[in-house]
Amino acid sequence: MLSRRMLIGGGLCAGAAGLTVPVIGPRAENRAQAEEWATRLVAAARSQIGVTLFYDPSYSKIDFPGGDVPRFKGVCTDVIVRAYRDGLDTDLQALVHADMRNAFTAYPKNWGLKTTDRNIDHRRVPNLQTFLKRQKAEVPIVSDGLAYSPGDIVTQMLPGNKPHIAIVSDALSDDGSRPLLIHNIGWGAKMEDILFAFTITGHYRYSGQAT
């Protein structure tokens, strides 16, 4: 049975226990030829493996801009935020905050907020989805695993209607039919064969240049 932990205040993403998936896979040559920005993004996501060891959904007050909780812990969205900061010098905390201030009504009201909260807005999956859509970063959701390129962002819905988000890696499953995802679903940052394990709710390709 899959169990989930929600972030205090309405949860960005949730952890899962009891899921068994391969954690390594072959790196295909054609995937190694990803665009330069995507290569940097994937490398930044991979660098979190072995560093972020725990899933911790606690609400935290953090610096702005460039705020983060200690790197040994975090949630699924923190993998994304850290990868964009480290790999592309793109601060999703600042970008999401600015966009929400300019277009607050465009963002979900799941948490009953009447204004922005720069401690947590960028750490919520639905907000990242909205931001990416507004950046015109959406690409089709398809059943062909190889259509998901290194550096792509994938959002999923876990059991219990809990949102999740991950970065597509440059490594493939053992059968070569789909990429592994880099994410934190409950045990820290890992690379796992989980692309089609849950319903995909979004597919995005964002180079880090805000429009």
The yes-or-no verdict on residue 31 having pLDDT over 90 is no
Dihedral angle computed from the Cα positions of residues 40, 130, 191 and 160, in that order, rounded to the nearest 10 degrees: 170
* Residues 153 and 207: beta-carbon distance below 8 Å: no
The yes-or-no verdict on residue 7 having pLDDT over 50 is no
Which DSSP string corresponds to 37-103?
HHHHHHHHHHTTTTT--EE--------TTT----TTEE-HHHHHHHHHHHHH---HHHHHHHHHHH-
Please state, in angstroms and as integers, the Cα–Cα distance from residue 34 to each residue in 39, 148, 161, following that order. 6, 11, 32
**Distance separating alpha carbons of residues 112 and 30, to the nearest angstrom:** 45
- Return mean pLDDT, the chain: 88
Per-residue pLDDT tens over the stretch 62-111? 999 999 999 999 999 999 999 999 999 999 999 999 999 999 999 999 88
Two structure tokens written together for 152: 């792509």
> Which helix or strand (DSSP H or E) is residue 164 part of?
strand 162-172
**Distance separating alpha carbons of residues 124 and 127, to the nearest angstrom:** 5
Helix axes 92-102, 125-134, angle to 10 degrees: 70
Per-residue pLDDT tens over the stretch 100-136? 999 999 999 988 889 999 999 999 999 999 999 999 9
Across 190-194, average pLDDT: 98
**Distance separating alpha carbons of residues 161 and 151, to the nearest angstrom:** 25
The structure's pTM equals 0.87
Please, which pLDDT band fits residue 211 given cuts at 50, 70 and 90? low
The yes-or-no verdict on residue 147 having pLDDT over 90 is yes
pLDDT score, position 113: 86
Q: Which domains does the chain have, with CATH numbers?
A: 3-16+39-204 (3.90.1720.10)
